[in-house]
Amino acid sequence: MELTGAEAIHTKLEIHADIAIIGGGLGGCAAALAAAATGKAVVMTEETAWIGGQLTSQAVPPDEHRWIEQFGCTRSYRSFREGVRNYYRRNFPLTAEACRKPNLNPGNGAVSRLCHDPRSALAVLQEMLAPYVHSGKVKLLMRRVPIKAETVGDTVHTVTVRNLETGHDETIVASFFLDATECGDLLPMTGTEYTTGAEAKSETGEPHAVDGDSLPMDMQAFTYVFALDYCEGEDHTIERPRDYDFWRSYQADFWPGKLLDWTGVLPRTLQPREFGLFSKTADLWRYRRIIDRSNFLDGTFDSDITIVNWQQNDYWLGPIIDVSEEERNRHLESAKQLSLSLLYWMQTEAPRPDGKAGYPGLRLRKDVVGTEDGLAMYPYIRESRRIKAEFTVLEQHISPEARTDGRAEPFHDSVGVGYYRIDLHPSTGNRHYIDISCLPFQIPLGSLIPVRMKNLLPACKNLGVTHITNGCYRLHPVEWNVGEAAGYLASYCLDKQIQPREVRNHEATLKDFQQLLEQAGIELKWPEFAAM
C-alpha cells in the first residue's frame, strides 16, 4: 500500500553499505569511484537532481592551474577531462579544425582550458560511474538531504536522509561516512568538531588572518550562476525582478561603485577595473564561455553560450551556514534576486559602446542548468564548515612570502597535490578580496582526519584548512583529489581493520597506503617551479 501525507513523512527505510557518501558533488563522485574500484559497497546521496556539484548543479567550469594538461591532478580526474572532450567529439558536429585539437576547449573560455556545458560534465560523470551503478556496487540516492545522525562515542552509526520528492526518511547504516556535502552538513549532525569563517592571527599566525577576534560568521560570498546566449535583434527580457530596485542602487562600502555596473575591481590590487559584455580588453562574455559556436559546424548553435559567475552576482549580505532555516532561505532568495537583477540590468540598462543601453537579445538558457527559474540548481559554494583536523594547512605552509626556499611545506603524509592562487572573494563580513600568490602544494593526510571522530572523513571543501588556505584548496581538481583520497582511505581502513589516524601515524602503514594511491594514479608531489 502506498503511504501518503503524514504517514509517508514518517516512513523510515534502512539501507546498508560499507561506505556512505553524503553529497554527490565532485569530491563525492571521486570518492565513490575510488571506493567502488576497491570492491566496496557504496551508497551516495545527492540533494539536487544532478551529481557533480561545482561542475553541474552549480554550473561552474573548472578552475585549474596552467599545467593541468601535463601533471598536477589524479589519473581519474584526467580521465574525466578527456571524457568531456570525447563526449563532444562523439556527439557534436565539430569543425575540422576543432577535431584536430588534442586539447579541445568547447567554449574557449578564458578561465579554463576546458570550458564546457554542465550537462556534458553530468553525462561523463554518469558514464564513469555506470559500471558500478549498473552492477549495484554504487547506489545513488538523488534528491536526498541529511537530517540527522546517530553516533555512539566517537563513531557514527547511522545517517538519516530525507527524500525531497516523497518525504520518506531513509536511514543509512555504514562502516564509514564521508561528508561530501557542499557546506559540511554532517559535521554538526555528528558532533564532529569544526570551524567556520575567518580565524584570527592569534589562532593561526597567518599574515592575512583577521586582527582581533576570529569571525566565525565571516565567510566568502556565494553565487547563483546562470547561462546565457545572445540573439541579436530579439527581445528576451525577463520580468522585472522583485528586488531589482534594491540591487540597482546597492553599493558596498568597500566597492568602487554600484554592484550592477561594468566597474569592478582587480582582485590582486583592489584597484577599479572597467569590464564590458563584449569588450576587447575585459570581455565578460568570453570569460566563462562554455560553447564557442566557431568550434562547431554552421547551424549547430545559433549563439555562443556563456556562464555568468562574475563579480556582479557574488552575494555577501549574509551566510547560509550555521544560521536559522529562515535566515538561510532569506539569503538564498536574495542571492537569486541579485542574479536575476543583474540579468535584467544587462538586458535593459547596461551601457553599451554604441551609446545605447541594454542588450535585450540576452537569453536566459534554463535548459543548460536544468531549472525553471534559469538559475543553477545549487549556489556556488566557496567556503564550507571545516573539520578540526589532526593537521591544519596554514598560509605559512604554502605562501611564497613565508617559504624562503621557494617551495611549499613538504608533507610526509601527502595524499595528493593542488595549485591555485589563494583566491578569496568578498565576504559576509564586508571584507574585500584576498588574492595572493601560492606555491604548488600537497594535500596532507592529517587534514583529512578529524581530531576525534573515528569513521567520518571530509570529502569536499571541509578538510583541515583555514579561511585563508581554503582559498586555494577549494578548486575543482583539489576537491576531486580530496574526495578520491578519502574514498581510498575508508576502503583501506576497512581492509586492514584500522582507523585513519593509524594509517597516518605508523610509518610502514602510511607508506603502504601512499603506494596504493600512487598505483591508482594519484600524484603525491610536484616538480619544482616558481610561484603562481
> Residue ranges of the alpha helices (H) in 371-475?
395-398, 470-473
Q: What is the pLDDT of residue 8?
A: 39
Does residue 45 surpass a pLDDT of 60?
A: yes
Distance CA 408, CA 398 (A): 5
Q: Are 272 and 256 in contact (CB under 8 A)?
A: yes
Q: What is the DSSP letter of 478?
A: H
- Given the DSSP bridges, would you call strands 226-230 and 362-364 parallel, antiparallel or unpaired? antiparallel
Q: Are 179 and 456 in contact (CB under 8 A)?
A: yes
With vertex at residue 527, the alpha carbon angle to CA 524 and CA 530, rounded to the nearest 5 degrees, is: 125
In the three-class reduction of DSSP (H, G, I as helix; E, B as strand; rest coil), residue 173 is classed as strand
Residue 280 pLDDT level (bands cut at 50, 70, 90): confident
Distance CA 525, CA 415 (A): 9
Q: Is the dihedral of CA 308, 309, 310, 314 positive or negative?
A: positive
Q: Are 416 and 443 in contact (CB under 8 A)?
A: yes
Q: Kindly report the number of other CB atoms within 10 A of residue 400's CB atom.
A: 17
Residue 149's DSSP bridge partners are: 159
Exposed/middle/buried for residue 102 (C-beta within 10 Å: 0-12, 13-18, 19+)? exposed
- Residue reference for cell 571506493: 35
Q: What is the pLDDT of residue 282?
A: 81
Distance CA 98, CA 91 (A): 13
Mean pLDDT for 260-268 is 96
Distance CA 4, CA 1 (A): 10
Exposed/middle/buried for residue 355 (C-beta within 10 Å: 0-12, 13-18, 19+)? exposed
Residue 532 pLDDT level (bands cut at 50, 70, 90): low
Amino acid at 461: K
Exposed/middle/buried for residue 258 (C-beta within 10 Å: 0-12, 13-18, 19+)? middle
Q: Are 179 and 186 in contact (CB under 8 A)?
A: yes
The mean predicted confidence, pLDDT, of the chain is 96
Distance CA 460, CA 10 (A): 30
The CA R_g of the chain, rounded to the nearest whole Å, is 23
- Which residue has better confidence, 281 or 393? 393
Q: From 214, 189, 184, select the one nearest 389 (Cα to Cα).
A: 184
Cell numbers describing residue 164: 525531497
Distance CA 30, CA 485 (A): 8
Q: Kindly report the number of other CB atoms within 10 A of residue 14's CB atom.
A: 10
C-alpha distances in angstroms, 496 versus 364, 492, 513?
Answer: 52, 6, 11
Residue 219 pLDDT level (bands cut at 50, 70, 90): very high
Q: What is the pLDDT of residue 232?
A: 95
Q: b/e map of 269-305 (b: 16 or more CB within 10 Å)?
A: eeeebebbbeeeeeebbbbbbbbbbebbeeeebebbb
Q: What is the DSSP letter of 281?
A: S
Q: What is the DSSP letter of 200?
A: B
Mean pLDDT for 67-80 is 97
Distance CA 436, CA 421 (A): 6
Cell numbers describing residue 320: 547560509
Q: From 65, 49, 57, select the one nearest 380 (Cα to Cα).
A: 57
Distance CA 311, CA 338 (A): 11
Size (the chain), residues: 532
> Which residues neighbour 202 within 8 Å (Cβ) at sequence distance 6 or greater?
none
Number of H helices, E strands in the chain: 16, 21
Mean pLDDT for 272-297 is 93
Q: What is the pLDDT of residue 410?
A: 97
Distance CA 474, CA 487 (A): 18
Q: Are 489 and 44 in contact (CB under 8 A)?
A: no
Mean pLDDT for 309-322 is 98
- Given the DSSP bridges, would you call strands 169-179 and 456-458 parallel, antiparallel or unpaired? parallel
Cell numbers describing residue 513: 597506503
Distance CA 285, CA 262 (A): 12
Does residue 323 surpass a pLDDT of 80?
A: yes
Amino acid at 310: W
Mean pLDDT for 213-221 is 98
* Tens-place pLDDT, residues 100-152: 999 999 999 999 999 999 999 999 999 999 999 999 999 999 999 999 999 99
Mean pLDDT for 394-423 is 96
- Residue reference for cell 556565494: 222
Distance CA 198, CA 215 (A): 5
Mean pLDDT for 257-265 is 97
